[in-house]
A and B are shown apart, each in its own frame.
Chain A
Amino acid sequence: MPTRSSSDLIVVGAGVVGAACAHYAARRGLDITVVDRGPVAGGTTGAGEGNLLVSDKEPGPELRLALLSGRLWRELSDVLPARVEYEAKGGLVVASGETGLTALRAFAHRQARAGVTAEEVAGERLHDLEPHLAPGLAGGYHYPQDAQVQPALAAAHLLRAAGTRVRLRLGEEVVGVLTRTDGTVRGVRTPAGELHAPHVVNAAGTWGGAFARVAGVALPVQPRRGFVLVTEPLPRVVRRKVYAADYVADVASGSAALQTSPVVEGTPAGPVLIGASRERVGFDRTLSTEVLRRLAQGAARLFPVLARVRVLRTYAGFRPYLPDHLPAVGADPRAPGLLHACGHEGAGIGLAPATGAVIAALVAGDEPPLDAADMHAFRPERFHGTP
């Protein structure tokens, strides 16, 4: 008989991925307990810009997950209140010179064959799309499928829209995973007591490696730090998400050293958000003036009008990085009953709905909405035996 402390599924982590897992599981009629040591969206979700991108992804399993997610986000935008600030604003990738544009063109052609809509924009037409862009850029590509959402509100409303099937236990840290003698998972332990469920999902994001250890398995999630600059509120000077073509190479790089490439976008509330930096320096929040310098230079080079604009705030977030840049999504054969939904690096907001839909299907015993080859690419035990 179910008690207050038992449910069909325990989701560890109340970020956007955990919220999406709970949301889609509730749609299937399951009862879910979401546990987080902090508030909703207290980790990387709260530090994200809310990018829902296909433009930065190579053809492959992650792009297919992103395309599915894009469709699900569009559907969610009808279900969730307007406050989540879903905007199908589109992305614009620009190249400053001919070499960069040639590489971008080849990349976009490969993406187009994988189902991405990518429209070439000649240099002299860029200002039709973004009037404040710097003059003299060689050209770019417009990606109408790129969109944006306010990530913390999205997480909160995904949970809220799931209704009474979702129970939230916030400010409660999972300190142990309960197993039967045969090793199958039967719940978790928190300082407040035991919570029972036949399925436990690791949606702990950047802390997913630490939670995996609690569950007795290895998952090499590492923090990859990024800074975001937030300007004073402005009238809409940046309409889309605009970034330089070298961003794609930075995302795909495995280097621990600092990489920056300008990513600039406006928000409905007025401030312009400026990213993106990547470096693996552990969980260090100390401000890096070198990151600020490079981001500011890059943004002002793309949009000279921003040079006079003041930055009000900057903050660091920690992307959950796995060595092959793919998330861990699926059941863990090393601990039956344990599933993983973490390691989405900088794409967690965008990939959350598809991840949630996959997890919900697996827990309900159905076929996931991805083909077997992609599920194989995301299998959580793939790093087993690697140091």
Chain B
Amino acid sequence: MPDSPSEEGHATSYDLAVIGAGAAGLAGAVAADRLGLRVALLDSSGEVGGQFYRHPAPALGAVRPEALHHDWKAFAGLRRGLADSGVLHLAGHHVWTVAQDGELWAAHAVTGADGDGERPVCVRARTVLFATGASERHLPFPGWTLPGVVGAGGAQAMLKSGLALPGRRIVVAGSGPLLPAVAVSLAAAGARVPAVVEASGYLGYARSPAALAANPRKLAEAAAYGTALLRHRIPLRTRSAVTEVHGRDRVEGVTVCRVDRDWRPLPHTADRIACDALAVGHGLVPQIELATGIGCATRRTRDGAHALVLDAFQETSVRGLWAAGETGGVGGAPLARVEGELAGIAVAARVRGREALVRGSHARALRRRRDRMRAFATAMARAHAPGPGWTAWLDDATDVCRCEEVTAGTVREAVRDYGARDARSVKLLTRAGMGWCQGRICGAAVACLASPTGQEGGGQPALPPSPERRPLAVPVTLAALAALPPPNDRSHPSGHTPQKGPS
């Protein structure tokens, strides 16, 4: 596996640029490489594996990183596949945009741990596979900005990469299948978990019996987590939510309320739990800004997020651009692996002109597995969709946008008195979402508060009508932008040159 571009070649492009080296991206890159394509794999992290297979840097000397991963074997296989392949792995490359470049696509990246490297890089390819994963959905509530409040996924990432705990007595709250897994990981690492607080009821899954029946492994997994919660003596409270965090300088306790079907707190059910940390997560949202930036169509998922519209072979609405994994709707690592491999095969079929590849029995089997797991992912999204009543947790003084310190009251005022109706107009009138995170943290919450039906949590679930446009996926220095290759200049030194001749 090469990890720096060859200096000898004459070609100007790759067959496939894969963006993201998690489960989907690794599977896609390895599959395409095996079918003879020249593949470049770009990833912002220094290590492959993405969020799910995050593991300690070798320097930390962890003896058994796999202890935190029930799916480690599959990852180890992909990692071996990559090592044995001709895929060019570009670690530490933050792709900030993908642009059309004549007949090719250009993935523009900046390097460095934080994207602050000197060198802008442009990788040109005939096709692109977006495997950019997902990020946590954040819903604000009073006290959510106190030190000691961490994302549930973030808490797990801390464990996986640094083996650190956010506290000693940690309440796990929010909604989604990640919560029991996080609680068990935290307990296994030595923390006390006084409660797992889940806003939905697990009965939500019963509305999708076919998806459950077709995915027995998922039920077994859930049962295993249930047993593990019991073993660690972690009580599970469903239809409940942490509606407030208490503490002066850091977390000292949380208020837990029973909530109705719409997640509205029920009166006289408040109960206080002492803790020194809160790991909170309300599911994941697909990270698709690179794809939407180039015009890929999106669809609304059952939990109100936006995911890419994909055809039977993982191609987006823009010909030549594929996607796999969470970008097409959050569904977990096993689904991402299947979709990545299917996409890799479909890209090879297109580039090599070998349509038979996608009609073969292997591709057919992958499609069946994909469809089965997708059905479960949809049931999961439906069961854990945020109820519109969550906005009732917010008092007017709660910061919604923490970068710019914009409160819920200010957002409500912009809608009520100044004519805002969506996240963009709220941003223009209040600066919510204009800070360093560019609305990645507060965007969903602001959109809910801004939508005319989202005021005071009334009516239908308040969902943003379209994903926010974010043409720069990461911040880029003016120097890096100024060093971009001018049009039609294919010999620019910042471009990567692969080994074989042009096709």
Chain A residues with CB under 8 Å of chain B are 14, 38-42, 46, 152-153, 156-157, 159-160, 168, 170-171, 229, 231-232, 269, 271, 274, 285-290, 292-293, 295-297, 299-300, 306-315
Provide the bound-state CA to CA distance between A309 and B315, in Å. Answer: 37
Instruction: Determine whether B478 belongs to the interface, using a CB cutoff of 8 Å to chain A.
Output: yes
Instruction: Determine whether B481 belongs to the interface, using a CB cutoff of 8 Å to chain A.
Output: yes
* Cβ distance A368 to chain B, nearest Cβ, rounded Å: 27
Residues on B with beta carbons closer than 8 Å to the beta carbon of A170: 419, 421
Residues on B with beta carbons closer than 8 Å to the beta carbon of A39: 419-422, 424-425
Provide the bound-state CA to CA distance between A293 and B120, in Å. Answer: 12
* Cβ distance A248 to chain B, nearest Cβ, rounded Å: 23
Output the nearest chain A residue to B115 by Cβ-Cβ distance.
Answer: A310
Provide the bound-state CA to CA distance between A271 and B469, in Å. Answer: 19
Q: Which of A171, A285, A293, A314 contacts B484 (CB 8 A)?
A: A293
- Known contacts A41-B419, A232-B475; 14 additional CB pairs below 8 A are A14-B419, A39-B425, A41-B429, A152-B429, A269-B431, A271-B434, A290-B487, A293-B486, A296-B479, A309-B477, A311-B472, A311-B475, A311-B478, A312-B438
| A-B CB contact pairs (8 Å), 22 listed | A42-B422, A42-B425, A46-B424, A46-B425, A46-B428, A156-B419, A157-B418, A160-B417, A271-B434, A286-B100, A287-B97, A287-B293, A290-B487, A293-B481, A293-B482, A300-B479, A306-B478, A308-B477, A311-B478, A312-B436, A313-B434, A315-B471
Q: Quick one: which of B275-292 are within 8 Å of A by CB?
A: none
Output the nearest chain B residue to A297 by Cβ-Cβ distance.
Answer: B482
Residues on A with beta carbons closer than 8 Å to the beta carbon of B293: 286-287
Instruction: Determine whether B476 belongs to the interface, using a CB cutoff of 8 Å to chain A.
Output: yes
Provide the bound-state CA to CA distance between A122 and B475, in Å. Answer: 36
Instruction: Determine whether B470 belongs to the interface, using a CB cutoff of 8 Å to chain A.
Output: yes
B472 and A313 within 8 A (CB)? yes
Instruction: Determine whether B154 belongs to the interface, using a CB cutoff of 8 Å to chain A.
Output: no
Residues on A with beta carbons closer than 8 Å to the beta carbon of B487: 290
A285 and B479 within 8 A (CB)? no
Known pairs A46-B425, A232-B436, A296-B481; A289 contacts B418 (CB<8 A): no
Residues on B with beta carbons closer than 8 Å to the beta carbon of A168: 419
B419 and A40 within 8 A (CB)? yes
Provide the bound-state CA to CA distance between A269 and B469, in Å. Answer: 22
* Cβ distance A251 to chain B, nearest Cβ, rounded Å: 23
Q: Which of B99, B100, B419, B424 contacts A159 (CB 8 A)?
A: B419
Provide the bound-state CA to CA distance between A300 and B481, in Å. Answer: 10
Q: Chain A: interface secondary structure? A: mixed
B418 and A160 within 8 A (CB)? yes
Instruction: Determine whether B76 belongs to the interface, using a CB cutoff of 8 Å to chain A.
Output: no
* Cβ distance A288 to chain B, nearest Cβ, rounded Å: 8
Instruction: Determine whether B264 belongs to the interface, using a CB cutoff of 8 Å to chain A.
Output: no
B99 and A287 within 8 A (CB)? yes
Known pairs A160-B417, A311-B476; A290 contacts B429 (CB<8 A): no
Residues on A with beta carbons closer than 8 Å to the beta carbon of B482: 293, 296-297, 300, 307
Provide the bound-state CA to CA distance between A156 and B242, in Å. Answer: 36
B428 and A309 within 8 A (CB)? no
Residues on B with beta carbons closer than 8 Å to the beta carbon of A287: 97, 99, 293, 471
Provide the bound-state CA to CA distance between A229 and B478, in Å. Answer: 9
Known pairs A287-B99, A289-B106; A38 contacts B471 (CB<8 A): no
A296 and B478 within 8 A (CB)? yes
* Cβ distance B97 to chain A, nearest Cβ, rounded Å: 6
Provide the bound-state CA to CA distance between A140 and B484, in Å. Answer: 30
Provide the bound-state CA to CA distance between A179 and B478, in Å. Answer: 53
Which among A271, A285, A309, A313 has the highest number of chain B CB atoms within 10 Å?
A: A313
* Cβ distance B350 to chain A, nearest Cβ, rounded Å: 23
Provide the bound-state CA to CA distance between A229 and B436, in Å. Answer: 14
Provide the bound-state CA to CA distance between A153 and B108, in Å. Answer: 35
Output the nearest chain A residue to B439 by Cβ-Cβ distance.
Answer: A313
Residues on B with beta carbons closer than 8 Å to the beta carbon of A152: 425, 428-429
* Cβ distance B459 to chain A, nearest Cβ, rounded Å: 14
Output the nearest chain B residue to A230 by Cβ-Cβ distance.
Answer: B434
Q: Which of A41, A160, A311 contacts B481 (CB 8 A)?
A: A311
Provide the bound-state CA to CA distance between A46 and B429, in Å. Answer: 9
Q: Which of A153, A271, A310 contacts B477 (CB 8 A)?
A: A310
Instruction: Determine whether B142 belongs to the interface, using a CB cutoff of 8 Å to chain A.
Output: no
Q: Quick one: which of B202-249 are within 8 Å of A by CB?
A: none
Provide the bound-state CA to CA distance between A274 and B294, in Å. Answer: 22
B478 and A307 within 8 A (CB)? yes
Instruction: Determine whether B295 belongs to the interface, using a CB cutoff of 8 Å to chain A.
Output: yes
Residues on A with beta carbons closer than 8 Å to the beta carbon of B5: none
Known pairs A42-B424, A293-B486; A156 contacts B476 (CB<8 A): no
Instruction: Determine whether B452 belongs to the interface, using a CB cutoff of 8 Å to chain A.
Output: yes
* Cβ distance A133 to chain B, nearest Cβ, rounded Å: 15
Output the nearest chain B residue to A309 by Cβ-Cβ distance.
Answer: B478
Query: Nearest 7 pairs between A and B by C-beta?
Result: A40-B419, A152-B428, A296-B481, A39-B425, A39-B421, A156-B418, A310-B475
Provide the bound-state CA to CA distance between A314 and B470, in Å. Answer: 8
* Cβ distance B176 to chain A, nearest Cβ, rounded Å: 30
Output the nearest chain B residue to A287 by Cβ-Cβ distance.
Answer: B471
A300 and B469 within 8 A (CB)? no
What 0/1 readout, one digit per residue, does chain B (404-431) give for beta carbons within 8 Å of chain A? 0000000000100111111011001101
Residues on A with beta carbons closer than 8 Å to the beta carbon of B295: 286
* Cβ distance A305 to chain B, nearest Cβ, rounded Å: 10
* Cβ distance A273 to chain B, nearest Cβ, rounded Å: 12
Output the nearest chain A residue to B415 by Cβ-Cβ distance.
Answer: A39
Residues on B with beta carbons closer than 8 Å to the beta carbon of A42: 421-422, 424-425
A41 and B479 within 8 A (CB)? no
